[in-house]
Amino acid sequence: MKYMMLIHHDDEALAKADQSLWADYAAFNEALVKAGGSAGERLHPAAGATNVRIRGGKAEVLDGPYADTKEKLAGYFMIDAATPEEAVAWAQRCPSARYGTIEVRPIMDMQR
């Protein structure tokens, strides 16, 4: 089953993180690729987000984070895991698990 791993970060905690975090991220991405996945993507800070919606036929375009939470979506990666346990193991390895939270979400199989 395919899983999307959503990385939620507190930007302040991330700013204080040790610089080895980025070396660890490079290593983590390499391990992901070796195991048949693809390297994760990192997002620009949520403050630079643009939110778009259409209400009553009118488009509204708003700046700023979508959710007013301390931890914000900061990136994601996808894996193909045989069991939910394997997916959780990958979340534990993600360097961001030490600073934020990794949300593990199975992807719906629309072929079935």
Partner 1 sequence: MSSDRASGVVERIARESYGRLAALVAARTRDLVLAEDLLAEAFAAALAQWPAEGVPATPDGWLITVAKRRHADLLRREQVRMNGEPHLQMLAAEIGEAEELPDRRLALMFACAHPLIERGARAPLILQTVLGITAKSIAAAFLVSPSSMSQRLVRSKAHIKESGIPFGVPEQTEMPERLDAVLEAIYAAYSTGWDDTDEGTSVLAPEAIWLAGLIVELLPGEPEAKALLALMLYAEARRDARRDRDGRYVPIDRQDIALWDRARIGKAEALMHAANSAGPTGRYQLEAAIQSAHIAQRLSGVDCWPAVVALYDHLVALTNSPVARLNRAAALAEVAGPEAALAELSGISADSRMLGYQPYWATLGHLHLRAGHVEAGREALTVAIGLSTDDAVRQHLRLRLDAAS
Which residues would be at the binding site for partner 1 (CB under 8 A)?
A: 20, 23-24, 26-32, 34-36, 84-86, 88-90, 92-93
The token pair that represents 49 in the structure block? 């987000």
CB of 45 to partner 1, least distance (A): 24
Toward partner 1, which CB reaches closer, 31 or 107? 31
User: What is the rounded distance in angstroms from the CA atom of residue 69 to the CA atom of residue 40?
Assistant: 23
Toward partner 1, which CB reaches closer, 20 or 69? 20
Three-state SS for 11?
Answer: helix
CB of 68 to partner 1, least distance (A): 27
User: What is the rounded distance in angstroms from the CA atom of residue 65 to the CA atom of residue 112?
Assistant: 35
